């Protein structure tokens, strides 16, 4: 019997869930699972047979570097083909982010991704929270962190990314107020970056007191 993809284990048991079939229909880096199931409705009855394509991407992390003294943030820009397919500008403004490797903690992954994509080494991390990104079809979750560290002046040019993955990542240093203005003008089209900046705007005064 062929072993299941490590990113696509059988679904965990849940009260009222009855799995009829569970099939891996695409076994690439991120497998696609076809699940037929019934579940308990809110009125207590069993649902009809449902068929769901489940894209298994797994846990990821994102990091928003923040300099509390200079009141600056570090974002990145890179080309994203799915954004182009969605009718958006494919050069997206984002947070440094990536997947958690097997056996790696989210904190360790956040520090690794910050170094790979921004060249920055966080002195301190604060966890913002963990969220699911596309619950209608994908199991990918994102754990976001705010990183405390000194940042260079806005406009400082720097490029990063893994050569073996053909990454082309441009570092973008901004005053916090400028980043918030981009957020309010909907110039941040990336949901994770928007979520992180909303969190920072709420917690910014506290971080400046605690991290000064």
Which residues are part of the catalytic machinery?
Answer: 165
Two tokens, residue 8: 């696509």
Burial class (CB in 10 A: 0-12, 13-18, 19+), 201: middle
Helices 191-211 and 176-184 cross at an angle (nearest 10°) of 150
Of 63, 61, 62, 68, the C-alpha closest to 176 is 68
- DSSP state letters, 55-96: E---EEEEEEEEETTTTEEEEEEEE-HHHHHTTS-SEEEE-E
Q: Residues with Cβ < 8 Å from 157, sequence gap 6 or more?
A: 170, 171
């Amino acid at each position: 019997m062929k072993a299941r993809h490590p990113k696509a284990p059988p679904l965990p048991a849940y009260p009222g869930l009855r799995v009829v079939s569970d099939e891996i229909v695409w076994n690439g880096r991120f497998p696609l699972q076809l699940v037929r199931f019934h579940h308990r409705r809110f009125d207590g009855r069993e649902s009809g047979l449902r068929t769901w394509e489940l894209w298994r991407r797994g846990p990821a992390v994102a990091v928003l570097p923040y300099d509390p003294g200079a009141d600056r943030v570090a974002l990145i820009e890179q080309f994203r083909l799915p954004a182009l397919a969605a009718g958006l500008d494919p050069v997206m403004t984002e947070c440094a982010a990536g997947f958690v490797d097997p056996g790696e903690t989210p904190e360790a992954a956040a520090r690794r991704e910050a170094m790979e994509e921004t060249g920055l080494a966080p002195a301190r991390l604060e966890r913002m929270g963990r969220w699911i990104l596309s619950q209608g079809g994908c199991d990918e979750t994102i754990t976001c962190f705010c990183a405390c560290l000194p940042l260079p002046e806005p406009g400082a040019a720097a490029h990063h990314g893994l050569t073996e993955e053909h990454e082309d990542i441009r570092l973008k240093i901004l005053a916090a107020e400028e980043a918030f203005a981009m957020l309010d003008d909907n110039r941040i089209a990336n949901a994770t970056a928007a979520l992180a900046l909303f969190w920072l705007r709420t917690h910014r005064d506290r971080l400046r007191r605690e991290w000064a």
